[in-house]
């Protein structure tokens, strides 16, 4: 059976519900409708994950930083470190909560390999 194509990338940086998938590869799964700033802030403060998708890595990073600062008053950017498919992300300053604002980005080594980090939950 052929795999379904992922939904198109939004025209602007757009946040979605997300969850880190179990296992050593560090993949992140996303789903649902786009979130408002208030919904993103609520998810982050409740220790739930969010991923931002858009056409520009820089735009995604700027959007994730902006809302993380709104949620926590400051943030630290962290590079991918949870496995080969992990994503760059933001934490509140000096804290490492269970919630994270992930950025979508596609390392060249992953393009065309069925990126699980871009997999949308049913």
- 64 near 14, Cβ under 8 Å? no
**Could you tell me the pTM of the whole model?**
0.75
Q: What is 11-70 written as a DSSP string?
A: SS-EEEEEEEPSSTT--EEEESSPPPHHHHHHHHHTT-EEEEE-S-HHHHHHHHHHHHHH
Average pLDDT, consecutive stretches of 10 residues, N- to C-terminus, the chain (122 residues): 70 89 82 93 88 88 91 85 82 67 49 42 50
Spans of all domains in the chain: 14-117
């Amino acid at each position: 059976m052929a795999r379904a194509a992922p939904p198109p990338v939004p025209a602007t940086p757009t946040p979605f519900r997300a969850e880190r998938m179990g296992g050593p590869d560090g993949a992140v799964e996303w789903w649902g409708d786009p979130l408002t700033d208030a919904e993103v802030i609520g998810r982050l403060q409740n220790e739930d994950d969010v991923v931002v998708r858009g056409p520009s890595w820089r735009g995604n990073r700027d959007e994730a930083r902006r809302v993380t600062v709104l949620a926590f008053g400051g943030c630290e950017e962290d590079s991918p470190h949870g496995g080969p498919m992990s994503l760059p992300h933001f934490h509140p300053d000096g804290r490492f909560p269970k919630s994270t604002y992930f950025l979508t980005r596609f390392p060249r080594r992953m393009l065309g390999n069925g990126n699980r980090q871009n997999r949308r939950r049913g």
